[in-house]
Structure 1
């Protein structure tokens, strides 16, 4: 649980977009391990569904972060302060927005992308059931 909390604190305190992505992914591993070790009969199925959905959504987050960080400048950077002041073409902004939206929609209760949560809560042990809901 400390590893999961460390990933959460790292994602909220990062000042670098690549570090944010790494911490975002790092917090998924301990939750997967907790879900797959304790729970009901189909706990491995629900833990695998959890990790596949969230890691699949994170591919869009990685692509968006790389698009923002590597666009246009001679010196690619992932520093938030530098990226905020950079201008992007409208078409690229829309594409990056869609990528970030899909990545975060997997965590939000948007039905086609959030179907992993009922299985996870249904099969998780009651002490680990709160982790996926509180994590996102």
Structure 2
């Protein structure tokens, strides 16, 4: 009985390719949306940031009204000025995401994600570096 139903469903899907395409698209969209929502809930609610006092962390961006850039990077001289003059922050750190190319003799060069950070970053986050020691 079940095999008859499966054969009938398969024949119906082959006879109506438009309906089949819409059904597959709806399934793909539904699965994709559910996976996205689960990922957001999992990352934000179920596994929040593991830093001590994450509510005290802030990200500062520059703003350029002439070029309509609302979230641009902060230059190092601007960061130094903010760090030296701002009284609203207990401490400040800078981070710039980079990709690094590392080549060993006799091997192909490989690209790795990385970051350039100021010496205070690990202390502010309360996290030791994965490899090596902290800045001294």
Instruction: Give the TM bin, normalised by the shorter chain.
Output: under 0.3
TM-score normalised per structure 1: 0.24
TM-score normalised per structure 2: 0.24
Q: Which structure dedicates a bigger proportion of its chain to strand? A: 2
Who wins on radius of gyration, i.e. which is larger?
2
